[in-house]
Structure 1
Amino acid sequence: MKQYIKTDEWNIIEEGFVPHYNKISESIFSLGNGRMGQRANFEEAYSGETLQGNYVAGVYYPDKTRVGWWKNGYPEYFAKVLNAANWIGIDIRIGDEVLDLHHAKVSSFSRVLNMKEGYLQRSFTATMKSGKEVRVTATRFCSIADDEACAIRYSITPLNFDSEAVITGYIDGDIRNQDANYDEKFWESVYSHAEGNSAYLVLRTRKTGFDVCTGQQLFILQDGQPVSIQPVQREKYVGGSAVAVLSRNQETIIFKYAANLSSENHAREALAGNCRLVLERAAAKGFESMLKEQAAAWARKWEESDIVIEGDAAAQQAIRFNIFQLNQTYTGEDARLNIGPKGFTGEKYGGSTYWDTEAYCLPFYLATAGQQVARNLLVYRYKHLEKAIENAVKLGFSNGAALYPMVTINGEECHNEWEITFEEIHRNAAIAFAIFNYIRYTGDEAYLAEYGLEVLIGIARFWAQRVNWSHAREQYVMLGVTGPNEYENNVNNNWYTNTMAAWCLQYATEALQQVVATNPERYEAILQKTALDVKKETGQWQHVIKHMYYPEDEQLGIFLQQDGYMDKDQTLVKDLDPAQRPLNQKWSWDRILRSCYIKQADVLQGLYFLEDRYDQDTIRRNFDFYEPRTVHESSLSPCVHAILAARLGDEQRAYEFYLRTSRLDLDDYNNDTEDGLHITSMAGTWMSVVEGFAGMRVRGGQLQFSPFLPGKWQSFAFNIRFRGNVLKVKAGKHGVNIENHSGGDITVLIYGEPCEVAAGATVQLKHGNLVN
């Protein structure tokens, strides 16, 4: 664990340059706007350790699968969101020296991510090998007010010399992904043009044929006067260059406006022209006006999604960092887009969609954005239903059975580890649960008829075929699976998978009944489209539900993670030598698989999803058994444990898990932040506060809260959207306040008691009594 980030409620601050931490900081200080993202690479040249990263949403490459031994059913490729053209580049050559912090003595280094207003600022003083000393300040942002535009203000001041310098602002398209399976370059040049202070580069992805135009307009000012810029152009590289005399203590200011436009949103023949229009609009506004627009747009984001914590600056900084990165990653405006585990902050996981979206991200967007945002996440999966059916066919399933991919961009499975691709089939359940969760929260029952029912039928058909009848048990069993705990592969009867499969079958049955009652015309159309034999197939589903096998240990009173779990050595995590952690970096895979250790919530994931089914004692017994065996080496683990600990009234463990999930990247808990941030687990951080400490639930169409206050906190507050209402909830030492910022009245349950909050009114629950 590293703790070099300074504590501040609205800023992420790094003071002093430690090259060994640079890739970590590149992740932490990343910028994005839902349409594109940029790691916190330096504008000037840097020959030290770095992971260059600029990403454009929806643009990917099918990198040919590389495995040691091919197995039937493996996908042909791994889809990867690509490292795109580098638009931030500003080379500074002073005399015969290039400004490069890897070869300079760096002092007064500061990097600040201003989360309130959405920009990154970096400043430093560098002494070059010649002894020349310069001071640099750079500010940049990806606009969320104009999501195809970015801007940089870069200033350089010589402190002890006068010298001629060459300043070049450029776009470099000769880039590669560090994780390319065969060290390929994925881009081909289509068009390039540089003229005056403008430059444009159009690149096309090989195989998939996406075109992306990256453009810039460059301005260099000394004493307010422009410096003449000459165009620069070569293969996959365009820019503008100027010769300027740098005078001691005179600031030279560089403004660089950049844009990324893709053929996903523009006709190919119009890309360069439209890119020019975006840049002209940005330059006409100017940097300061664009920055004000950015601050105003972020103010609206924070009004919707901020969580305010009083009395604990580290916790406050952490939750805002997580919310900030979530809002940078996904805006919900485009149903073709989804959320990768690393968002726009790194190459790991390919920028593809996992079950993380449905299990962890959906609740955040349900409560903090318009209903259409969460709906688009579900529509994304509906549009991939035919691909899910094709994926199931490749594995031997039939009759419209659908297996959603573990990893995808276009709906086709592109994960190639057999124990995941073929066996981690519980991801299907997360898709179905997301439909249930969305409708439960929004009341949008029409979604079932419009989109949801078809998906549920495909998923139910898969589960009905994936189980098999055990004559020995006289029950249905599920063989050869991997549950959420990926430190167990190819197990039989994973409790979570069996439980969620049966739940899916029941929910699909109920959905059929609901749609036939509310929209019989659409119901008939769905039956015809899916060729569903309702009586025969739902009869089979009910037989599976009634006879499903669930492993249990009656003596301990727990659900067994899978058959044979108690055959393992049961040494607890606390008794492990700390030097052996993390296991995934210290142990062989064979040793991990033979151990009892759990990567992330497995049985507890099921108790979290379906908690209404289980009483407090059942949840407590399972929590007390499994948590001490959990190493939390998945970023998705601490949040579920925090929520369950909060429900159980275990304040200490709830708070510990909250800090771990919220500061996972800021403190580099798992020694992997340099690969990119854990964006999807950041949604779990929000859940830890709102579903954990605030106890928010939806039951019977009503919003419920059961808040408790961690000991270090004076209060915490957040806004919630719910069925057209906007509420502000504040829990403090003296009670709970509910403010209704809506035009209509609403009744919520507080600690199980109904509380009517009139439009525009505030109600306080104090010591169990409602007071105005």
Structure 2
Amino acid sequence: MKNYIQAQEWDIVENGFDSHLNKISESIFSLGNGRMGQRANFEETYTGDTLQGNYVAGVYYPDKTRVGWWKNGYPEYFAKVLNAADWMGLELKLDGELLDLNQCKVTAFQRVLNMQEGYLERTFTAELVSGKQVQVKAKRFFSIANDEIAALHYQLTPLNFSGKLDLISFIDGDVKNQDSNYEEKFWDEVSSAQEASGSYLTLRTKKTAFEVITGVKTVVIKNDKTVQLSIDTKSRDKYLSESVSLDLTLNEGISIYKIATNLSSQNYAPADLPDRAKEVIKAAVEKGFEELLKEQAAAWATKWQEGDIIIEGDVAAQQAIRFNIFQLNQTYTGKDARLNIGPKGFTGEKYGGSTYWDTEAYCIPFYLSTAPQEVSRNLLVYRYKHLERAIENAGKLGFNKGAALYPMVTMNGEECHNEWEITFEEIHRNGAIAFAIFNYIRYTGDSSYLKEFGLEVLIGIARFWKQRVNWSADKKQYVMLGVTGPNEYENNINNNWYTNTLAAWCLKYTMEAAGIVKENDPEQYQRIVAKTALEEGAEFADWKEISEHIYLPYDEELGVFLQQDGYLDKEQILVKDLPASARPLNQKWSWDRILRSCFIKQADVLQGMYFFEDDYDLESLRRNFDFYESRTVHESSLSPCVHSILAAKLNDGDRAYEFYLRTARLDLDDYNNDTEDGLHITSMAGTWMSIVEGFGGMRVKNDTLSFNPFLPEQWKSFAFTIGFRGIQLNIKIKKDEIIINTTSKELLHINIFNKLHPVQAGETVINYKGLLV
């Protein structure tokens, strides 16, 4: 665990430069706006250890799968969001000496991510080998007010000399993904142009033929006057540059501005990209850097007004939750239903930038409460639009009659994950998508989604589960063989409790959803029946039979659900008895040893008890929590949040707080030694859940908001803002009271510790101390 980020409420601060931490910081200080983003690479040359990264949402390449052997059903490729053109590059030579922090003595350094206003600022003082000292102040942002714009202001001042500066400002599209399977570069150049309005480089992806134009206008100011740059002769493919030589005067700085755009053929016809890029650059340059920055601050102020969480009395916890919320809002805005949420967002290449089940299981709740309803609806529509591909995916594995298996990893609906134990076996992702439909309707009340999109998806998923189980003559129940549950430290096991439970629930919910559509809109129901060739009588009878007679492993003596068949055959060693030298297991143990151990990567049985908590009493939850938590190593970023929520429900303050900090500061403190690959964006939504659903105890039951608050002893209070069915509420939890502010003109009834309370416009104070009896 690292501990070099200073705790501040609104800022992420790194003081001092340590090259060994640089890739971690490149992840932590990443920027984005839902349409594009960038790791916190330096603007000037850096020859040290770095992961260069610029990304454009939705633009991907089908990198050919690299496996040691091939099996029927394997995807032929792994789709990857691409490292795109570097627009901010600056090469700076001082009397012929290159400014490079890997070659300099860095005497002062600070990097600050201003989350309140949405920009990254870096200041440093460096001494070159020659003894020349310079100071640099750099500020940049990706606009959420206009997601086609990014901007940079770079100031350089000589501190102990006067001399000559040779400056090159460039766009470099000759890049590759670090995770390229065969060291292949994924871009071809289409065209380039340099003119008074700026430099424009258009690239096209191989195979998928996405076109992206990167446009940049560079402006250099010296002594309040604009300096003319010269267009350089093009020296290599996929590269454009401008240059100028300047005389620097002691203690007198120069300013370099770069205004950039990335536009893709997803949104514009390829032939229109050059003209549109010029229009965007022209409008942004006319506004200027400072005005664009004001617009950015105003847009972020709105974001924070809609979804801030305020913690009183714990700066580390406050900083952490804001960091998580900030990165979530940088990653996905919901404006485009073709886009989804990659586990690393715009912060790195791991996991290919593709869509996983994380979206439905972890991210949906965050966007339901902090964004307009159409944002979470778009996340569901994304899956509906891939339904035919899900049916094709199932067909490749031998399923038929409209059975749908959604991919574990995808960009376009087609499965592109190439590890057999996940591609073929981690089929619980189907259930997460069905649960997200239920969760969306429960929260929003928008049951119309079922007839428009949801029921068709549910039918395809139900058909898959029906074909995936088989009857066991020995157990006299339906079983599910050869699966991998959420705990990926178990592969190819039988009767994973979570997967079987989820399958049974999906079958029941599909029939319930069909009944809702049939009753409320018979015409639409008949359309869906015809489109899906649903045989209601026969199929419903099968689904009911399976859901009522599926095998769910249970140990009577311990009183716990068994993660899978044979789990108790494993040597039962507790995590507390593991030596520190053995952690993390995935970096210290062989895979064979991990698979034979009882250790759990992330919540599995507990994930199911979180989803379906109303089906289990507190004592059952406590037994299962104590049993499985003591065997869980939390080496998945998705694990601590579920444990935090359940610990809060059990009134276990110490563990709830411990797991909250672990999920909230997972990246800031590099808990799992993997932040350098990129941030864990989807687990950040779990951090939000830890506070709102965990400490806040927020649920929706019978169309009514419910709260069972729990205040950690480390906090004086905490408050969060949510949107619920067109109403915005601010909930503040203090030691003995809950304070609710709403602008709703209608009288609301909110359930606090199972007692309804009327809430009117303005402030309502509810003393809940007596309710705890």
TM-score w.r.t. the length of structure 2 is 0.99
Tell me how far 1:766 sits from its aligned partner.
Answer: 4.8
Instruction: Check whether the contact 1:196–1:240 (CA below 8 A) recurs between aligned residues.
Output: no
Counterpart for residue 754 of structure 2: 752
Counterpart for residue 634 of structure 1: 636
Counterpart for residue 435 of structure 2: 433
Of 284, 287, 297, the match for 2:286: 284
Partner of 2:614, secondary structure, is helix
Partner of 1:126, secondary structure, is strand
Instruction: Say whether residues 1:362 and 2:364 are aligned partners.
Output: yes
Counterpart for residue 729 of structure 1: 731
Counterpart for residue 416 of structure 1: 418
1:95 alignment partner AA: D
Query: Which structure 1 residue ranges, 5 or more long, are not aligned?
Result: none
Provide the rounded CA distance (Å) in 2 between the counterparts of 1:650 and 1:495: 25
Provide the rounded CA distance (Å) in 1 between the counterparts of 2:630 and 2:284: 54
Deviation readout 1:427-459 (Å, 9 max, x if unpaired): 000000000000000000100000000000000
Instruction: Check whether the contact 2:136–2:156 (CA below 8 A) recurs between aligned residues.
Output: yes
Counterpart for residue 201 of structure 2: 201
1:122 alignment partner AA: R
Of 669, 691, 694, the match for 1:692: 694
Counterpart for residue 17 of structure 1: 17
2:461 alignment partner AA: I
Question: Which has the higher mean CA deviation after the structures are superposed, 750-759 or 105-114?
Answer: 750-759
Aligned pairs for 1:82-161 (under 5 A) are 82-161=82-161
Counterpart for residue 249 of structure 2: 247
Provide the rounded CA distance (Å) in 2 between the counterparts of 1:42 and 1:186: 23
Provide the rounded CA distance (Å) in 2 between the counterparts of 1:256 and 1:731: 45
Instruction: Say whether residues 1:8 and 2:4 are aligned partners.
Output: no
2:139 alignment partner AA: T
Counterpart for residue 296 of structure 2: 294
Provide the rounded CA distance (Å) in 1 between the counterparts of 2:66 and 2:548: 43
Tell me how far 1:196 sits from its aligned partner.
Answer: 3.8
Instruction: Say whether residues 1:60 and 2:50 are aligned partners.
Output: no
Instruction: Check whether the contact 2:739–2:763 (CA below 8 A) recurs between aligned residues.
Output: no
Provide the rounded CA distance (Å) in 2 between the counterparts of 1:396 and 1:588: 33
Instruction: Check whether the contact 1:197–1:230 (CA below 8 A) recurs between aligned residues.
Output: no
- Paired residue total: 770
Query: Which structure 2 residue ranges, 5 or more long, are not aligned?
Result: none
Aligned pairs for 1:545-560 (under 5 A) are 545-560=547-562
Instruction: Check whether the contact 2:737–2:765 (CA below 8 A) recurs between aligned residues.
Output: no
Instruction: Say whether residues 1:323 and 2:315 are aligned partners.
Output: no
Instruction: Check whether the contact 2:197–2:282 (CA below 8 A) recurs between aligned residues.
Output: no
Instruction: Check whether the contact 1:61–1:82 (CA below 8 A) recurs between aligned residues.
Output: yes
Tell me how far 1:197 sits from its aligned partner.
Answer: 6.2
Provide the rounded CA distance (Å) in 1 between the counterparts of 2:308 and 2:198: 39
2:539 alignment partner AA: E
TM-score w.r.t. the length of structure 1 is 0.99
Aligned pairs for 1:438-517 (under 5 A) are 438-517=440-519
Tell me how far 1:622 sits from its aligned partner.
Answer: 0.2
Counterpart for residue 719 of structure 1: 721
Aligned pairs for 1:530-679 (under 5 A) are 530-679=532-681
Counterpart for residue 704 of structure 1: 706
Tell me how far 1:95 sits from its aligned partner.
Answer: 1.8
Counterpart for residue 219 of structure 1: 219
Tell me how far 1:551 sits from its aligned partner.
Answer: 0.5
1:252 alignment partner AA: I
Provide the rounded CA distance (Å) in 1 between the counterparts of 2:663 and 2:176: 32
Counterpart for residue 521 of structure 1: 523
Provide the rounded CA distance (Å) in 2 between the counterparts of 1:590 and 1:570: 17
Deviation readout 1:133-180 (Å, 9 max, x if unpaired): 100000000000010101100000001111111112111000000100
Provide the rounded CA distance (Å) in 1 between the counterparts of 2:416 and 2:746: 47
Tell me how far 1:131 sits from its aligned partner.
Answer: 1.0
1:380 alignment partner AA: Y
Partner of 1:89, secondary structure, is strand
Tell me how far 1:97 sits from its aligned partner.
Answer: 1.2
Provide the rounded CA distance (Å) in 2 between the counterparts of 1:239 and 1:143: 24
Partner of 2:595, secondary structure, is helix
Provide the rounded CA distance (Å) in 2 between the counterparts of 1:766 and 1:542: 42
Counterpart for residue 264 of structure 1: 266
Provide the rounded CA distance (Å) in 2 between the counterparts of 1:761 and 1:495: 45
1:635 alignment partner AA: S
Instruction: Check whether the contact 1:121–1:139 (CA below 8 A) recurs between aligned residues.
Output: yes
2:328 alignment partner AA: L
Tell me how far 1:260 sits from its aligned partner.
Answer: 0.4
Provide the rounded CA distance (Å) in 2 between the counterparts of 1:298 and 1:593: 45
Instruction: Check whether the contact 1:197–1:240 (CA below 8 A) recurs between aligned residues.
Output: no
Provide the rounded CA distance (Å) in 2 between the counterparts of 1:197 and 1:542: 66
Provide the rounded CA distance (Å) in 2 between the counterparts of 1:117 and 1:724: 26
2:183 alignment partner AA: D
Provide the rounded CA distance (Å) in 1 between the counterparts of 2:272 and 2:501: 52
2:33 alignment partner AA: N
Instruction: Check whether the contact 1:306–1:320 (CA below 8 A) recurs between aligned residues.
Output: yes
1:336 alignment partner AA: R
Partner of 2:50, secondary structure, is coil
Counterpart for residue 28 of structure 2: 28
Provide the rounded CA distance (Å) in 1 between the counterparts of 2:83 and 2:707: 43
2:56 alignment partner AA: V
Partner of 1:487, secondary structure, is coil
Counterpart for residue 376 of structure 1: 378
Provide the rounded CA distance (Å) in 2 between the counterparts of 1:729 and 1:768: 19
Instruction: Check whether the contact 2:575–2:630 (CA below 8 A) recurs between aligned residues.
Output: yes
Partner of 1:707, secondary structure, is coil
Deviation readout 1:518-543 (Å, 9 max, x if unpaired): 01101001010100100000100011
Partner of 2:272, secondary structure, is helix
> What is the percent sequence identity of the aligned residues?
67
Provide the rounded CA distance (Å) in 1 between the counterparts of 2:715 and 2:579: 33
Provide the rounded CA distance (Å) in 2 between the counterparts of 1:738 and 1:312: 22
Counterpart for residue 41 of structure 2: 41
